[in-house]
Amino acid sequence: MCDCIFCKIGKGEISSKKYYEDDDFFIISDISPKAKCHYLMIPKNHYKLISEQTENDRKIIAKMFDVLPKIQHELGLDGGYRLIINQGEDGGQEVPHLHIHILGGEKLKSF
Ligand code: 5GP
Ligand code: ZN
């Protein structure tokens, strides 16, 4: 049994509003937003690190990058956005299921 929160949300075992969903990935709001808009774009396949990706996992990431600009307006991200992928302990990854943070809806501080 998978005890992963993002797998459970993906399978609908835990309810969470999905702003986008297809067979391969979905987009939800982060429970603890760090910007006016803070989404998580999550592949349905469970893996933690980019280094673990299969060829198909890479295709799904490419598909995310195709879809995101098409739904950017619906997500309130017309002004642009920032994508972040935390990887491993030093990267501050809390949930061991690869996900892309999408931050926007306001002018973000540069870093
Ligand atoms: P990480 O640090 O792993 O890159 O980010 C994990 C993110 O998932 C955090 O920003 C955290 O707020 C978010 N998160 C953790 N649990 C849940 C949850 O149950 N639902 C949602 N929507 N977000 C979650
Ligand atoms: Zn998972």
The mean per-residue pLDDT over the stretch 23-35 comes to 98
53 lines ligand 1 (CB under 6 A): no
Q: What pTM does this model have?
A: 0.97
Mean pLDDT of 16-25: 98
Query: Residue 42 — φ and ψ, nearest 5°?
Result: -130, 120
30 CB less than 6 Å from ligand 1?
Answer: yes
Number of other CB atoms surrounding residue 101 within 10 Å:
17
In angstroms, rounded to a whole number, what is the distance separating the alpha carbons of residues 57 and 97? 12
**Ligand closest in space to the Cα of 95:** 1
Starting from the CA of residue 18, give the closest ligand: 1
- State how far the Cα of 64 lies from the Cα of 81, in Å rounded to an integer: 14
pLDDT band at 108 (very low <50, low <70, confident <90, very high): very high
Active site amino acids = 99
Does ligand 1 come within 6 angstroms of the Cβ of 85? Answer: no
What pLDDT does residue 2 have? Answer: 78
What integer is the mean pLDDT of 94-106? 98
Query: Does the pLDDT at position 49 exceed 80?
Result: yes
Cβ–Cβ under 8 Å, residues 106 and 34:
no
Pocket test for ligand 1, best of 40, 84, 87 (most atoms within 8 A of CB): 40
| Phi and psi torsions of 3, nearest 5° | -105, 20
Give the Å distance between the CA of 78 and the centre of ligand 2. Answer: 30
- Dig out the tokens for 106 from the structure: 């306001």
* Ligand 1 near 102 CB (within 6 A): no
- Residue 1: pLDDT above 80? no
